[in-house]
Structure 1
């Protein structure tokens, strides 16, 4: 465990005091864990309360995984697909997927810089219930998500807590002993917290005894949401079109209409509002609400607006796509005859430079362009403000490749070769482990002795942290033993003329071997038979003559390569 903790400290990101991060990596979209802090330890139950002990900063291999869209689905739930990523390109799986008695925690801080922002988080939880409900309620698996303002007050809409109590929690489903909730969404209106630094903390733990585990998937983002009018003036049918943001499963307008788009007829001078229902909403009372006041444009209205380059501004049936000042008159039978004084500014695409570090074989996707090789790339994509942006990307590829076996069958007691071939142009650290037990560090090849079947995990982490390569070797251990044929025919026909014995590679030597007839007369005996001499052991002769057909009996003792000894007896038939 000390070696494992040392490795975790080497891999740890953000050991220094946690500082408020900007909003860019709140959902891991930089492909790393910058801006986040991690802790882990053990859990015990003290009457009805849970106690977190042996707290260690950092994370353990296998209990914190940065996932992308190509990652495998959940290892425990099979009746439905729990995708590795719900939105964006990355998510995080946190918690022990193999055993209980442990907890894992992640934290970050972010500052709310402006109005009109919504914080959305996405959570999936898998909690392993004890079948007989033996554990006290305070000792069962749980997940806790808490968002706090800068005074430490809990923000209910940004928080979620669920600990098993022996019954199926609301919103959860059950498969075998697992109680789980697929990806769900929570939303927080950040307007009351502008200028504040908020703290987010997610903790998951298993039960305090036995192997019942608890873990979760997490992602989040900060979005700018607003209602948008197609045009400040109605169409020829006398309707204004008001549009809500895309990506929600429900829209509830304050006038009772459903749908993403609202048609408003003249005359109108009112404020419209819509409540947005996220996917699988965690907190039904916390749906985002957007408002917009609409007043039909009157005669001689001045409109000054800044738009993204490449977009268009439409008044009536006329479209404007260039910067300038314009006078436009609309005549309509609906009563919206107006003169518009337009001051329009179309901005050029925002350029920004970034360095992208990839491990060989990885890909980086921006917009509709995919990059997997080194070079300088100029990519045009839709930015978070809705305008086109240009990214100048310097892509560096760290050249590390690993080849390793994934399946192996081996006799009991034989050494299991744990080996991987690594081709690398950068320094790296290698570990072999089984479950949470570390076998070795910095060893591409090693050996362990087989006692039972199971899996062995290989992990390579480059010194830069860019490459993280994992392989799993599934080992099938077969019993160690000796097979004795039930019959042979020493009749010189070239088929089964000799009596042979067959031993696994783990059999080193047969110490004694004898065959007797029904009268108890020993017709063959031999001692100290090495593995290499197991074939053509006896030709069926006793004192130079072939023995009679019939049933005979054998006895033997043997030695294994492990040093253990054994014995075996049985019968065989001689046919002439």
Structure 2
């Protein structure tokens, strides 16, 4: 089954416009002493191109953080590579001045917060003290004590000389008492970046938050109306112009300068080298762009800045744009940075999963599934059972049972996925059944039968079979034969074999003797000879004129022309048949037909006729010339009657003296018919 997924590769390029910005709290002093509890080493972090990483919530694609300097995010669970400071705040020459000195982390002033299982809330703002990005550690800087306390933490690192798209995103939450003093006496939180070489703070990367009701995003505490708080927010620092520079990231908190009101903050560094976050819904094709946090205005434009696509930190484009660039102009709050322009390039990547066609395999037989790997994609098969490798495009499977595998193809660039499924039907052993052994007589046929899960069959030996490749051939063996049948499952996995024995019993042979001609009224005793006995039954037919029909030697009384059949059965039920024809003749009949006559009118031998006794009827009497011409014919008359004889005339005149041919059919008194043929000479 296929899913229609579309993917994108997002490349974010930060094209920052040069702009001036006031340096906030420039007069604050910078502590330079080494923190005994932290390292003096300057961290240098590897800046990578903004290539998307694999998302853990496909098909949504999120651009992830790149490599950050070691422990800048506190994720080692310590202040390693950070320097800690403590001091106090004051007003000098109508300016707020913060003086700090290096210190080990001071409990209650530099407090490392470990992410807890349950949400711990700030007592004044009621927001979770753990940052919303899910990181394991954050820092609480300062506390709700008074006496003009100030705290600072500093992280120093070098931006690589070949760096592109360098940036840091930090998250912060601030809680102040608002005593209503003048601005230079109020509690405050400062986040800024120092260029160590020039000893100047970076424009657009230095922000100071002073306790006042007019600060954007601040709220009044429901617990104490004098307390203002801002829950977790994000800020984006663009370091694009500082490749090769050594920089210091500073976070500072300070109470009011009169010593009676406090302020503290929560900080965490979340991501490096990420200027925006983009999510892509691959199915349907929806692009969601999120600008860097902490700006007042966001305006999104097309590639040529000819069309405004939307406003706000988040832009949703449905459907997602084709290959093109999307630009966002970010405008900071007044006094909190510079405007920037970011560009996003969208490239569609279309993963196409092909698990292969559903197929049938033999148990434990290897089969390669899937399709050749394509560059730029990862492959994952589920379940991994009985696969050689579940993370390649074409694993080899050996499932012992039917299995369904799903391949998930993920675009490395976009994280978009496609899935496909293959069903492997695994054949199991087959079983066939055959008909029981058979017994037949010589010359007979019998149906053989095999049935079961087999697709094809092969019988052997093939002699005596109607066909050897069907389930139910007809067998007519001449001798006893053991037939073997093999059933095949059709996929060369399994076979099963059956056997049928066909016993061939010989037919009995009976010989009742040759045909005979016997006198009417006489008798004939049959004396048959047999083989392949013993004979267990006799059957003679027709039964008329026989002394018995189920004995071996019946006596026949000769009356008319009859063919007698003897059917014998041996102990195996096999049958043999023989026959004898008994043709009777008239023993008491005497027929006289002369061989010459002289039709000269002298009263002596003038007529050629049939004479005899024991004759019931002369059915026909015909005379032919030597040329085959019928010259005389009479039918159905009694013998010895001159009226039915030939007087030698042919067409009214005495025929020529020559030899003629006669045929006479005579019916005896027992209705038997005898035919007499001969020659007669006409004399003159």
TM-score (norm 1): 0.42
Larger RCO, structure (CA 8 Å, separation 6 or more): 2
TM-score, normalised with respect to structure 2: 0.36
Select the structure of larger CA radius of gyration: 2
Higher strand share: 1
